[in-house]
Structures are given as C-alpha cells and as structure tokens.
Amino acid sequence: MADPAGNADRPGYSFTPGPPPEASRYLTNKGLRPAFSFRDVEPEEHAVAFTVAKAMQLDVLTGIREEVQRALDQGLPLATFQKTLRPRLEALGWWGKEAMVDPATGKTRRVQLGSPRRLRTIYEANIRSARAAGQWERIQRTKRALPYLLYQLGPSIDHREEHLMKAGLILPVDHPFWATWFPPNGWGCKCWVRQITRFEAEDLGVDDDAPPTPMRAVKNRRTGESRQIPLGIDPGWDRNPGALRLQAMEQLLNDKLDAADPAIARAALRDIATSWRAERVLKGEAPGAVPVAMLPREVAGAVGMAKRVVSMTSSYGQKFIDKERGVGTHTLLTLSAALDGGMLLLERGKQSDSLIVISAEETPWIFALKLLPAAGEIWVRTMHRLKPAKLKRLLADPAVSVLRK
C-alpha cells in the first residue's frame, strides 16, 4: 500500500535521543549574571554564567534562559523559540526600545531590548556555545581512539578570510591551537570540527603546526582594558567554551571564590561536581584532585579555615564507590546542600580536625571533611550512608561538638 504522505522511503521507526547530555548540562548548570553590556562579563564568567545584554532583571533573564534550555533540549527551531519567548518578554516589558540607566556611568540611555534580531542572536550564540562545550567534553573522553581534530567550514555563503585559511587543518586534540580556535569563533560563525582517528589524520595529512595568525589589540570600552586576540575571532569568542569551563570553575573555586559573585560560584560548583572530570576522579580513573564543594563563610570561620574549597582525590573516590552503593557525582551535590542546611559536627583529632556533615534526607548521607588550616586545604575523607547507631556514637563522643543541628 502506498504511503499517502509520500514517505515510503522512511523507516517505520525513529530514534529520538534528545540533545547531547553534555551540552544540556553545560547550559543547565550556568548561573544567572545580569549585565548591561556583553562586555561587562569576562570570557571566564561566560563559561559558567548565563547573561544577556540589557537583561538586568532576574525574571527576564530567567525567562530567556528557560526558553533557550527548552530549545536545546527539544531541538526547537529558531522560529518556535521566537514565537514562544516573545510574548513572555512583552509581558515583562522587555521589548522594543526603552530608556535604561547604565550602571557603569549612571547615565540614562535609550537601548534596544527584545527584538526578532536579538532573539536570533541569543538563540544562535547560546545553542552553539553549549553544543561546542558538550562536544569538547566528548572529545576529551574519546581522544585515545580519536586523537585528532579537523577544522571545517560551515554552510555560510561568505566566510571570514582567517577561517578559510584554517579549513582542512588537522592537529592533535591537545594542541594549544584549539584553546583559542575551537569554533564557533565569532558572532554567526558556523565553522565546526570533526574528531578523527590517527589513521584518517595521517591519510589526509597531519599539519606540523597551526598557521600563524596575526593578533590585534581590542579595547573593552566598558572597562578600559586592552587584550590581544587573533585576527578573525570576535572579542569574547577567543576561548574554547568547554576547556574554559573547567579552567574557570577551578579558578573561581580555588583562587577567586571570595571575590566571585555567589550565584556564579554556585553555578561553577554544580558544574564541576557533575562534570566528566569529577566522575573520573570519583571512579579512580583520573589522577589528582578536583574541587567539589565549598564551606559557607560562617562555617569556615567556626572551624578556623581561611580557605573554603573542599576537594576530593581519586584515591579516596574509588574507596567511596567500593564501600557504598549509589555513590556518584550526584552525591557531591548532596554534600553541597548539606553544608548549607544539614547537621554539622566538629570532631577534634590528634593530628587534624574533621568537619562531619550530615544531610537532611530521610536516609541521610554522612561526609567527613579533613581540615588542614596551615595548608589551606579541606579534603573529603568519608562519604557513605549514615546508620542511626553511628550518629549516637558521634553525639556521645567528648571529642565531638555540635556546630549546627
């Protein structure tokens, strides 16, 4: 029987895998960062923060982020995104041109809020960045089997000259070139990379190195600072979003935590605690340590810690999984929640003290954090489900004091 819809060549089944989970998580874990200008937010913040120029109200920024997330997760086209988001923004009064005070200067300016063109820019920039970050995460996981990247042009009619020069370039995954030139490389850039095997790379011809790219000085009119970026890349697009995400998270948590915006710090924390790196460290598959939580400021003061970052090592991570079923990166999010609202005990030890953290769930988790004030370090030492008898012993121990019930 003929197909009345004319789809006789289509199979009688379909696969709907949804969006790449890494791309969805990249966007989901971003915090909200209201900003008057795109230039007010540094690339390091863009890696962990969702921001839209002139979206100064949280309800507006939340609405835009929700629709971008829905478009990514459901694979919605631009037209559907615009049709859904426009009435939300109009209802919030964020549409057309309006007078707005620039917080940097205190002056009132007439600025463009929502418009069809702006919605296109928001859609394309965020979807492409999320997919690029997700792809980079997959590249890092599979680089043993597919150790090279091939730079390819997108479907645009006109290409930037510098992008044309990169077409067909083949370099190892970990070559420094990809820290800057991992696409998209500008507003509207549709370039992409394909991950390939060593055999294909050698067959096509591996490049000895990346071709030299002239640099240009770009001054941020908002801050007065100048930066050198490659010619052919737009300001703000000169960083690999996936690689920068991990770098930015660790930097924010380790070096800039006290100065960081709390929402950005929390977003960075969620992102790294559920990242592929944290998962590999937890399973003992990657060496080293990874920051997974942070002490609230008042708790750090109570236990005498100037530094607030909590880290986990691969050696301990494997022990956690061997000892307790159900341990995963989601358990690290439970630790963060328990630090904010769970029971806290301080256990005095001969060599070092421990902060005992107990979650508020019906079947709670217990975490022991080793405190090393002199070194400025906090390590996850224990992570398992709590038995009632264990809690009774802790509360009866004279070396243990209650910091928060």
In degrees, rounded to 5, the angle at the alpha carbon of residue 211 between the alpha carbons of residues 207 and 213 is 155
* Number of other CB atoms surrounding residue 191 within 10 Å: 21
User: Per-residue pLDDT for the chain (405 aa), expressed as one digit of tens each?
Assistant: 333 333 333 333 333 456 678 888 888 878 788 888 887 877 667 777 888 999 999 899 999 999 999 999 999 999 999 999 999 999 999 999 999 998 888 899 999 999 999 999 999 999 999 999 889 988 988 999 999 999 999 988 889 999 999 999 999 999 999 989 999 999 889 999 999 999 999 999 999 888 888 899 988 888 788 889 999 999 888 888 887 766 555 655 566 655 666 676 777 777 777 777 788 778 777 667 788 888 988 999 999 998 888 888 877 766 676 666 678 888 888 998 999 899 999 999 888 899 999 998 888 999 999 999 988 889 999 888 998 888 899 999 999 999 998
**Residue 287: per-residue pLDDT:** 65
User: Which residue in 133, 144, 161 sits closest to 239, CA to CA?
Assistant: 133
Structure tokens that stand for 291 in this block: 């920051």
Given the DSSP bridges, would you call strands 215-219 and 289-294 parallel, antiparallel or unpaired?
Answer: unpaired
Residue type at 87?
P
Return all residues near 171 (Cβ < 8 A) that are at least 6 apart.
148, 149, 177, 178, 206, 207, 209, 210
CA–CA distance, 236 with 46 (Å, rounded to integer): 9
**Residue 60: per-residue pLDDT:** 94
Residue 347 backbone dihedrals phi, psi, to 5 degrees: -105, 115
Upstream peptide bond of 212 is cis (omega within 30 degrees of 0):
no
259, HSE (Cβ side, Cα atoms, 13 Å): 6
CA–CA distance, 385 with 391 (Å, rounded to integer): 11
**Residue 356: per-residue pLDDT:** 95
* Number of other CB atoms surrounding residue 349 within 10 Å: 10
> What is the 3 state secondary structure string of the chain?
CCCCCCCCCCCCCCCCCCCCHHHHHHHHCCEECCECCHHHCCHHHHCCEECCECECCHHHHHHHHHHHHHHHHHCCCHHHHHHHHHHHHHHCCCCCEEEEECCCCCCEEEEECCCHHHHHHHHHHHHHHHHHHHHHHHHHHHCCCCCEEEEECCCCCCCCHHHHHHCCCEEECCCCHHHHHCCCCCCCCCCEEEEECHHHHHHHCCCCCCCCCCEEEEECCCCCCEEEEECCCCCCCCCCHHHHHHHHHHHHHHCCCCCCCHHHHHHHHHHHHCCHHHHHHHCCCCCCEEEEEECCHHHHHHCCCCCCEEEEEHHHHHHHHHHCCCCCHHHHHHHHHHHHHCEEEEECCCCCEEEEEECCCCCCEEEEEEEECCCCEEEEEEEEECCHHHHHHHHHCCCEEEEEC
Residue 404 backbone dihedrals phi, psi, to 5 degrees: -155, 130
- Could you tell me if 130 and 72 are in contact, meaning their C-beta atoms sit under 8 angstroms apart? yes
CA–CA distance, 350 with 282 (Å, rounded to integer): 28
CA–CA distance, 2 with 264 (Å, rounded to integer): 57
CA–CA distance, 330 with 334 (Å, rounded to integer): 7
Give one word for 240, left, alpha or beta, with left for phi > 0 and alpha for psi -120 to 50.
Answer: beta
Given the DSSP bridges, would you call strands 148-152 and 192-196 parallel, antiparallel or unpaired?
Answer: antiparallel
CA–CA distance, 298 with 240 (Å, rounded to integer): 36
Residue 127 backbone dihedrals phi, psi, to 5 degrees: -65, -45
